[in-house]
Chain A
Amino acid sequence: MSLAMRVEEKLYQNRYIVDAGKPHIAIRPHDKPSENLLAMTRICPAGCYAETSSGQVEITPDGCLECGTCRVLCEASGDITWNYPRGGFGVLFKFG
């Protein structure tokens, strides 16, 4: 797919009210990411998860679509903590 649209370009179409300084998802500090956490760098539909140069996984939840996929894969093991954004914040679907 040479003409495939990148996730970042797509998120640009969406409407968000970002709760600055209050991320609703946090990753537990780690030396080596678990398999599921590493998988999130690929699966997260909003591309919130990324691998750093030193091999850890970090998160920037600003573009989060609040689908819950990472919660399903990584919450039980304690890899991440997941909360909903405060009322009114986060993604606001125009069409849904």
Chain B
Amino acid sequence: MIEEKFDAIVIGAGMAGNAAAHTMASRGLKVLQLERGEYAGSKNVQGAILYADMVEKIIPNFREEAPLERHLVEQRFWMMGDRSHTGLQYRNDDFNEDKPNRYTIIRSQFDRWFSKEVQAQGALVICETTVTELVSDAYGKVIGVRTDRRGGTIFADVVILCEGVNGLLGARAGLRDTPKAEHVALAVKEMHFLPRETIESRFNLHGDEGVVIEAAGVISKGMTGMGFVYTNKESVSVGMGCLVSDFATNNDTPNGLLEAFKNHPSIKPLLEGSEVKEYAAHLIPEGGYKTIPQLFGDGWVVCGDAAQLNNAIHREGSNLALTSGRLAGEAIFQIKSRREPMTKQNLALYKQYLDDSFVMKDLKKYKDMPALLHANSQNYFLAYPQLVSKAMENFLRVDGTPKLDKEKATVASFVKERRWTGLFGDAWRLARAWR
């Protein structure tokens, strides 16, 4: 198919792949990027929130060109009861700044634009091409790839694996394991279309302002999971995800949970009358720091979701992908400028860059959270939300019961559910994992 040899082959045109390809091509490296979808973005699924800082480091003026939906001025965290929610709401007019911090996006549109920027830097991008195999030399160094198109191997000094959470190539080549069921969440999502004005009045927004709702509690039926509602210009993204290992032992279906979430009395009025135009599913890496695989070797590096680089606590994934892709590109450029080979020893520079960045620092901070939430999902995702809901109802319903009796009843319900030792233990474990 292609005779020439490349400096680098990037596999995948998601956030990590585009960041890596853009970084290297803009520095003059000869880059080939392969994408299995019909166009860049056609296989990619995200909630989706974009963090401006990480894009700015790659394309400083992206706000002028990129297809962005709404900049976020408000965040709601909702703890869901069966027919209630207890919310924490933060809105700040300072988020209406010249260069907003966070946006909602529609991934297939954003990625398509990003890919054009990558091509403008001189990278060769070939879509509708699935890479079937990594090719190694006799010493085990990765030297190229084979695809499902006619023709032989395509060679490069280094292969950058940005193949996503479900990437087959790295696992097949024995470079990392396939994710385990307790380390990935399955999320399902729908795109609900509504007139602009309807979205703005329902969510209390003006112009391009946007709001995000993250919801946890009884909606995941005791499984480790969350729901979300994100506002776009003329659509609302609604989704729900839980750990695959929890789904495997629970009787609920992903679609059933999503339908129940949509029909929750706190959510339903927000979606009323919408037209659904797409239903998507995607795995989210949730294992955190302890599940990060070997990130580099002779002739290869791995970035983004494929490397489990996702901060589940802060729901940050695409920015870790963008950053890891960019840092891989910068490391490779450095090695190349020194005219040195793409050996494991040299590519350790990528890991060093990552360790020095927020990516590894943040993931390390929360290294114990995934296991904690998983082991205690019944408490954190079912018992406590129900108790909080009951406590709020006790507090707010005026029915002639003396307040002291109400408080006693609330405290008693917490103690009955978890006992004092359980309550202190849960709080202590949560605080320690958070540190």
> Which A residues contact B (CB, under 8 angstroms)?
1, 3-5, 7, 10-11, 13-14, 17, 36, 39, 42-43, 45-47, 65-69, 71-73, 75-76, 82-88, 90-96
Contacts and interface: CB of A to CB of B under 8 A. Distances in A.
B283 A68 contact: yes
B175 interface: no
17 contacts: A4-B256, A10-B255, A14-B279, A43-B247, A45-B186, A45-B255, A67-B166, A69-B186, A72-B180, A84-B36, A86-B148, A87-B130, A95-B109, A95-B277, A95-B280, A96-B45, A96-B280
A84 B148 CA distance: 10
A93 B178 contact: no
A67 B186 contact: yes
Contact of B188 (A4, A45, A82, A96): A45
Contact of B130 (A7, A10, A86): A86
B411 interface: no
Contacts of B179: 72
Interface in B73-122: 106-109, 111
Contacts of B41: 93, 96
Contacts of B108: 93-96
A92 B186 contact: no
A93 B259 contact: no
Interface string B241-275: 00010011001011110011001000000000000
Contact of A73 (B190, B248, B251, B263): B248
Given A43-B186, A43-B244, A69-B244, A93 B168 contact: no
A46 B247 CA distance: 15
B197 interface: no
A73 B111 contact: no
Interface of B: 36-38, 41-46, 48, 106-109, 111, 127-130, 147-149, 165-166, 168, 178-181, 184, 186, 188, 190-191, 235, 244, 247-248, 251, 253-256, 259-260, 263, 276-283
Given A87-B36, A87-B147, A93 B165 contact: no
A94 B189 CA distance: 13
Contacts of B256: 1, 4
Given A69-B244, A82-B168, A93-B42, A13 B148 contact: no
A11 B277 CA distance: 10
Contacts of A65: 279-282
Contacts of B127: 87-88
A84 B168 contact: yes
Contacts of B181: 72-73
A33 to B, nearest CB: 13
Given A91-B43, A93-B42, A93-B280, A43 B248 contact: yes
Contacts of B166: 66-68, 71-72
Nearest to B109: A95
Nearest to B253: A42
A69 B179 CA distance: 10
